[in-house]
C-alpha cells in the first residue's frame, strides 16, 4: 500500500460486503452545526418503542453517542418517522428505514436518498459498539464523497447479519485493514500530496507505517467481537465505518420477520412494511 502511488490505485472490496454504492445513503450534505439540544443527561441511554405493521420492537439508544441519540429522539417525538417504510431489506444483512420520501412512495419507486437536510458527525465508540445482530446504526454516503463518515440525518438500519467462522473473520480482518488504510490515507491526502511534491520519501514511509499500524488496530476484532460474531452473528465488515448508536433490546423476532419479507429488485419489500409510530419511553 505505497503512499507514493496512493492516488493511482484504490482498495478492492467485495461488492456483497460494502454499502458505499448502495441506498444506505442520505443525499443531503449540510453537517449538523452548533450544540444539540440534549434530551437526556450526558451518557444516559434512552429507550424507544418502534411500532410497525409487522409488530413492535424496542431499541436502546446509547448514552455514549449523544448526537445520534438526541437526533433520533427529536425525530421520533416529532412524528418524523411515522408512516415511513423499511425501504431496503436484505436477508442476513440488515433492514433499513428513515427515508421521509418513502411515506408517499409509489410502487416500485426507488428510495434511499431522502433526509432532513443535514448530517451528523460520526460517533465511533469502537470496539465497544460494533455491528452485532440487533445493532442500530446510522446510514451514510460513501467514503469518496464523505471521508469523515458523517451519518445521515434520519436514515438508520438494524443489523440482522449472520454467523461467521473464525477463518472467515481472519480473512475479513485482512480486507478491512486495507480498506481502513485507504480511508485513513484519504483523510491525510493534503499532507501526502505535499510530501510527494517535496520528494520526502522518508516522511512518506514514516506516515505509511503510522497508517498501517492504525488500520491494523481498527481492523482487528477483539475477543468479545469474535465471540459474538461466531455465535450470535452480525455484519463485522461494517465495523468502524458506520456509527452504531443503539441496539434492539426486545422484539428482535419482529426485525427478523421484516428481514425475511419478499423483496423486489432494489431490495424494497414487495408489500410495504411501515413504521406506524415511535414512542420515546420516559
Number of domains in the chain: 2
What global pTM score does this model have?
0.81
Residue 106 sits in a domain whose CATH number is 2.40.100.10
Is the domain of 187 the same as that of 65? Answer: no
Please check whether residue 68 lies inside any domain of the structure.
yes
What pLDDT sits at residue 61?
98
Is the domain of 189 the same as that of 218? Answer: yes
Q: How far is CA 138 from CA 49, 122, 208, in A?
A: 18, 9, 30
Is the domain of 183 the same as that of 117? Answer: no
Is the domain of 159 the same as that of 130? Answer: yes
Is the domain of 131 the same as that of 249? Answer: yes
What pLDDT sits at residue 137?
98
Is the domain of 153 the same as that of 59? Answer: yes
**DSSP string of 40-79, one letter each residue:** SSTT--EEEEEEETTEEEEEEE-TTSHHHHHHHHHHHHHT
pLDDT under 70: residue ranges of the chain? 1-42
Which residue, chain included where needed, has cell 446509547? 62
**Range(s) of the domain holding residue 132:** 18-34+44-163+232-282
Closest CA to 209 of 186, 187, 181, 190: 181
What pLDDT sits at residue 11?
35
Is the domain of 182 the same as that of 135? Answer: no
What pLDDT sits at residue 261?
97
Residue 161, Cβ density class (10 Å: 0-12 exposed, 13-18 middle, ≥19 buried): buried
Amino acid at each position: 500500500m505505497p503512499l507514493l502511488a496512493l492516488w493511482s490505485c484504490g482498495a478492492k472490496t467485495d461488492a456483497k460486503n460494502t454499502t458505499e454504492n448502495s441506498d444506505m445513503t442520505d443525499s443531503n450534505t449540510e453537517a449538523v452545526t452548533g450544540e444539540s439540544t440534549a434530551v437526556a443527561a450526558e451518557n444516559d441511554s434512552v429507550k424507544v418503542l418502534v411500532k410497525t405493521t409487522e409488530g413492535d420492537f424496542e431499541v436502546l439508544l446509547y448514552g455514549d453517542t449523544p448526537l445520534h441519540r438526541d437526533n433520533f429522539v427529536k425525530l421520533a417525538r416529532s412524528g418524523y418517522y411515522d408512516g415511513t417504510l423499511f425501504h431496503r431489506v436484505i436477508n442476513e444483512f440488515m433492514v433499513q428505514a428513515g427515508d421521509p420520501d418513502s411515506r408517499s412512495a409509489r410502487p416500485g419507486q426507488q428510495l434511499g436518498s431522502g433526509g432532513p437536510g443535514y448530517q451528523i458527525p460520526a460517533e465511533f465508540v469502537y470496539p465497544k459498539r460494533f455491528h452485532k445482530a440487533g445493532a442500530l446504526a446510522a446510514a451514510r454516503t460513501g467514503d469518496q464523497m464523505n471521508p469523515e463518515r458523517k451519518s445521515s440525518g434520519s436514515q438508520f438500519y438494524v443489523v440482522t447479519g449472520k454467523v461467521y467462522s473464525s477463518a472467515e473473520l481472519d480473512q475479513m480482518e485482512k480486507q478491512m485493514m486495507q480498506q481502513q488504510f485507504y480511508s485513513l490515507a484519504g483523510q491525510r491526502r493534503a499532507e501526502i500530496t505535499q510530501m510527494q511534491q517535496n520528494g520526502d520519501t522518508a516522511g512518506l514511509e514514516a506516515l505509511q507505517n503510522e497508517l498501517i499500524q492504525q488500520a491494523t488496530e481498527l481492523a482487528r476484532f477483539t475477543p468479545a467481537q469474535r465471540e459474538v460474531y461466531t455465535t450470535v452473528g452480525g455484519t463485522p465488515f461494517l465495523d468502524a465505518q458506520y456509527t452504531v448508536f443503539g441496539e434492539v433490546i426486545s422484539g428482535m423476532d419482529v426485525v427478523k420477520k421484516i428481514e425475511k419479507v419478499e423483496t423486489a429488485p432494489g431490495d424494497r419489500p414487495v408489500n410495504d412494511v411501515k413504521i406506524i409510530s415511535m414512542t420515546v419511553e420516559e
